[in-house]
Chains A and B, each alone.
Chain A
Amino acid sequence: MTRAPINKIIPLSLVDGPGNRTSIFLQGCNLACAYCHNPETQRLCNHCGICVSGCPSGALTIAGGRVNWDPEVCISCDQCITVCPSFASPRVRNMTPDEVFREVQKNIPFIRGITVSGGECTLYPNFIKELFAKAREQGLTCLIDSNGTTDFSRFPEMMELCQGVMLDVKAWDEQTYQKLTGGPTNSVVKKNLKYLADCNKLEELRIVCLQEEVDAEAVISGIAETIGEKVTSVKLKLIKFRHYGVKGRLQNTPSPDEVYIQKLLQLACGFGFKKAVIV
């Protein structure tokens, strides 16, 4: 049976796609972006036990070299993820698509669909495929929120069920990308951009904007060149970097100023984006 590590399931999400959605966050990522605002979703727990003693509610215990988490007792204080040195979380459940869907089902008829996010959810394509199959049966729409490092064209069954991808385009220049994300190349992201535009599954594009770290101008023009006329219909979110939740070298970096972000918006409009917004 397929299982995937689930960081959390948010029953009501206003920010992960159109309408009201239940968001499922999968644990683990193949990048380590300097601006990541939920770094605790990046790695799997190695059961080092460091977080256990600091848990104020006794939700964490260690037995047989494994750290266990009791959701009934946990008070969601986030102490554990703050102290974890490994960009992980002890609050992860290994779940089957069935188990996840049982939680999703409780939210019908209040939701329009589900969004799988992360971490990087496309590290678990089979899990996504099975979950989406169940969700589609119940009339829910299914979206993927991804960093674009998995070649979508290699997973036609998953893409058949998926109704749209919200794609993070983190940087355009490869060196900038490597420095920001620790990933080897963004060539797959660019390939995906074209693929998704061609098959009409580009739900939303996201750029986290931060001067000197992100070549947002190049990203905007690069996207426009790649997706052609789709610029008029695709939503582009220019996300202002915020240091909230960030660990590491950018944790005290201030947000970009309004002038810069407005300039980017102007630029995007100039390239023909009709649905560009600042968030």
Chain B
Amino acid sequence: MNQVLDIVTSKKLTYEQKVMSLAHAAEDTLSILSIPEKTRYYFEINAIDDLYEGHAPYRPRYIMPDYEKFIKNGSGFLQIDPPKDLDELLNSLMILYKHVPSITGFPVFLGNIDKLIEPFLDGVSDEMAKKKLRLFLNYLDRTITDSFCHANIGPEATRAGKLILELEKELQNAVPNFTLKYDPDITPDEYAELGIYTSLFCANPAFCNHKVHKKTYSTDYGISSCYNILPICGGAYTLSRITLPGLAKVATSAEQFLNELLPDCLEALGNYMNERISFLVEQSGFFESSFLVKEGFIHPDNFIGMLGITGLAECANILMGQNGKRYGHDVDADNLADQIMTIISNFAVQFPAKYSKIANGHFMLHAQVGMDYDLGITSGVRIPVGDELENIYDHLRHSARFHREITTGCGDIFPFETTGRNNPSAILDIVKGSFSLGSKYISFYEENSDLVRITGYLVKRSEMEKYRNNQVVLHDTTHLGAPNYEHNHLKDRKVRGV
């Protein structure tokens, strides 16, 4: 019970962070999931990872409430009538957010926020709207103290979206992440350029390839947490990952990896995920008790299991062995990586996932971006920091190729020179080009920005500095970001521009 005492007596955690950590520790005293010997082995060699999701899942990892429905109907459980004006809307949302669970203890998805707000702006001046929205946004940043939280805007230009972008630039908040669903046929250039311009001040919003993602589900999709593309009115039960370098390390040859190890490990991971989902659906009581289900804000049919992949780069490099060929730089390494992706993708297509109706009874692939303890393991299918391709176009072509198989979230991050602010249309051209090739998600920040993207979430450099000096910090993601920033040399990310 030392861990519990450590939490209780920590001088680096806020009260709230302690309570969460204690809940986690309590959950982990249980061992109700049946985990076969072989699966345990894969856990031990760090080939399978449950990403701290806990030993007894009692809520889905990510929940994507149907906020439109909430606004239309209000909530009986929360005793909220449908809002009639902007004040009532923002207040209602603030109340509901508090009751949307997730793995982080905070809501990971705040809705298509511009669409929610837009109808309530009629007759409200810009100045008045900004005042109210400023309070709302600051409330979110200061109470949702975890950056794995996402709000969406677009693809249509809205007044609400524009006001939010202007405010974000001013406020420099880490929470929530914003993603602009971008479709060049729908989103006006001027609006997208405002998005890019804003991101070169506050690292928000990121850009999501709407044309590609809108086909993912039979329902509308949302972007949650750290780039998860999930069905609205549902979410993700779980995200467990295969840590490819861990598995590659025990391979005797590339052939053995491809033909034996990888399929075997995927099978173990698939069964493990089904085990988690079964407990959550059949025993945890979540779906029977949550008012979100009862009032139709989420539906069990709309949840999926995400199979995470990480460290494709290092895996390919390990399997290339002594010849020194590298992922991203050599055809052979890339072809091998492609083979790995194909095997994983084929596995997902045929392996039966429990209770996953909206995914046609299968798991869906996600480029998992990494954990604070990952050392020398690059996010998802990215090219490692420090090894980026000199030419950003080559880099983006490579991304487009490896984003292909990944349906529930996969993206790239590029720091840009400050001069990019003078010509957002140039960066928009790059986004257009990469999306036309099939790249799925892209984000930018300015080279000297206080707000930086770690793997997908935002952290302030100034806050990381405080944390390193043993000070208490508001956002728990700073705890994850600080070591990750160092381990993965994120300050060395190649800055783009001319």
- Interface residues of chain A, those whose CB is within 8 Å of chain B, are 10-15, 18-21, 106-112, 279
Question: Contact between A19 and B393 (Cβ–Cβ < 8 Å)?
Answer: no
Using an 8 Å CB-CB cutoff, how does the interface string of B421-464 with A read, 1 for contact, 0 for none?
01101111110111011000000000000000000000000000
Measured CA separation A19–B189 after assembly (Å)? 11
Q: Are B432 and A12 within 8 A (Cβ)? A: no
- Find the residue from B425, B436, B498 having the highest chain A CB count within 10 A: B498
The answer to whether B396 and A110 touch across the interface, beta carbons within 8 angstroms, is: yes
- Looking at chain B's contact residues, the main secondary structure is helix
Which residues of chain A are near B432, meaning CB under 8 Å?
109
Contact of A110 with B498 in the complex, beta carbons under 8 Å: no
User: Which B residues touch A21, using CB under 8 A?
Assistant: 426
The reply to whether the CB of B169 lies closer than 8 angstroms to some CB of chain A is no
Contact partners of A109 in chain B: CB under 8 A:
432-433, 436-437
| B393 CB contacts on chain A under 8 angstroms | 11-12, 106-107, 110
Contact count band on B: 20 to 34
Q: Which A residues are CB-close (under 8 A) to B419?
A: 14-15
Given contacts A10-B498, A12-B497, A19-B429, 13 further A-B contacts (CB under 8 A): A12-B430, A12-B498, A13-B498, A14-B419, A15-B419, A15-B423, A20-B426, A106-B393, A107-B393, A109-B436, A109-B437, A111-B429, A111-B433
A15-B391 in contact (CB<8A): no
Nearest residue in A to B429 (C-beta to C-beta)? A20
Q: Which residues of the other chain, B, contact A12 by a CB distance below 8 angstroms?
A: 391-393, 426, 430, 496-498
Q: Is the CB of B422 within 8 A of A279?
A: yes
Interface string of B126-162 (1 = CB under 8 A from A): 0000000000000000000000000000000000000
For residue A20, which residues in chain B have a CB less than 8 angstroms away from its CB?
425-430
Name the contact of A14 in the complex, choosing from B396, B422, B433, B436 (C-beta under 8 A): B422
A15: which of B392, B396, B422, B430 is its contact (CB, 8 Å)? B422
Chain B residues within an 8 Å CB radius of A106: 393
Question: C-beta contact mask, B88-115 vs A, less than 8 Å → 1, else 0?
Answer: 0000000000000000000000000000
Residues of B within 8 A of A110 (CB): 392-393, 396, 429-430, 433-434
Complex formed: what's the CA distance from A271 to B432 in Å? 37
Nearest chain B CB to A77 CB, angstrom units: 16
Report if A14-B437 is in contact (Cβ < 8 Å); known contacts: A109-B432, A110-B429: no
Q: Indicate if B420 sits at the interface (CB-CB under 8 A).
A: yes
List 10 tightest A-B contacts by C-beta distance, closest first.
Answer: A110-B433, A20-B429, A20-B426, A109-B433, A14-B426, A14-B423, A19-B429, A19-B425, A110-B393, A112-B429
Some 20 contacts from A to B, beta carbons below 8 A apart, are A12-B393, A13-B498, A14-B420, A14-B422, A14-B423, A14-B427, A15-B419, A19-B423, A19-B428, A19-B429, A20-B426, A20-B427, A20-B429, A21-B426, A106-B393, A109-B432, A110-B433, A111-B433, A112-B425, A112-B429
Q: Which residues of A contact B422 (CB under 8 A)?
A: 14-15, 279
In Å, the complex CA distance between A107 and B391 comes to 10
User: Within B472-498, which residues are at the interface with A (CB < 8 Å)?
Assistant: 496-498
State in angstroms the CA–CA spacing of A97 and B391 once bound together: 22
Q: Please name all residues of chain A whose beta carbon is closer than 8 Å to the beta carbon of B434 when the two chains form the complex.
A: 110
C-alpha gap A217/B393 in the complex (Å) = 42
Set of chain B residues within 8 Å of A107, measured between Cβ atoms: 393
Closest chain B CB from A52 CB (angstroms): 26
A120 CB to closest chain B CB (Å) equals 21
Complex: A122 Cα to B498 Cα, angstroms: 23
Task: A19 to B426: give the CA distance in the assembly, Å.
Answer: 4
Report the minimal beta-carbon distance from B194 to chain A, rounded to whole angstroms. Answer: 16
CB distance A18 to B396 under 8 Å?
no
Q: How far is the CA of A20 from the CA of B396 in the complex (A)?
A: 15
Q: How distant is A237 from chain B, measured CB to nearest CB, in Å? A: 10
Can you name the residue of chain B whose Cβ is closest to the Cβ of A112?
A: B429
Q: Within the complex, what minimum Cβ distance (angstroms) separates B446 from chain A?
A: 13
In Å, the complex CA distance between A108 and B496 comes to 18
Measured CA separation A279–B418 after assembly (Å): 12
B391 A11 Cβ-Cβ under 8 A: yes
Cβ contacts B374-404/A at 8 Å (1 or 0 each)? 0000000000000000011100100000000
| CB neighbours of B496 from chain A (8 A) | 12
Residues in B with CB closer than 8 Å to A14 are: 417, 419-420, 422-423, 426-427, 497-498
Closest CB of chain B to A273's CB: distance in Å?
A: 17
Give bound CA distance, A14 to B427, whole Å. 8
Closest to A106 in B: B393
Residues in A neighbouring B437, C-beta threshold 8 A: 109
Tell which of A10, A20, A109 has the most Cβ of chain B within 10 Å.
A20
* Cβ distance B475 to chain A, nearest Cβ, rounded Å: 32
> Which B-chain residue is minimally distant from A16 (CB atoms)?
B498
A276 to B157 alpha-carbon distance, docked (Å): 27
Distance in angstroms from B372 CB to nearest chain A CB is: 33
Which residue of chain A has the shortest Cβ distance to B436 in the bound complex? A109
Q: Of the candidates A11, A13, A18, A108, which one forms a contact with B425 in the assembled complex, judged by CB atoms under 8 Å apart?
A: A18
Q: Mark B407-424, 1 if CB is under 8 A from A, else 0.
A: 000000000010110110
CA distance A108 to B419 in the complex (A): 22
Q: Which of B391, B393, B396, B425 has the most CB of A within 10 A?
A: B393
Q: Which residue of B lies closest to A18 (CB)?
A: B425
**In the complex, A15→B436 CA distance in Å?**
24
Interface centre among A10, A12, A15, A106 (most CB of B within 10 A): A12
A11 to B397, CA, bound (A): 14
Q: Which residue of A lies closest to B391 (CB)?
A: A11
Which residues of chain B come closer than 8 Å to A15, judged between CB atoms? 419, 422-423, 498
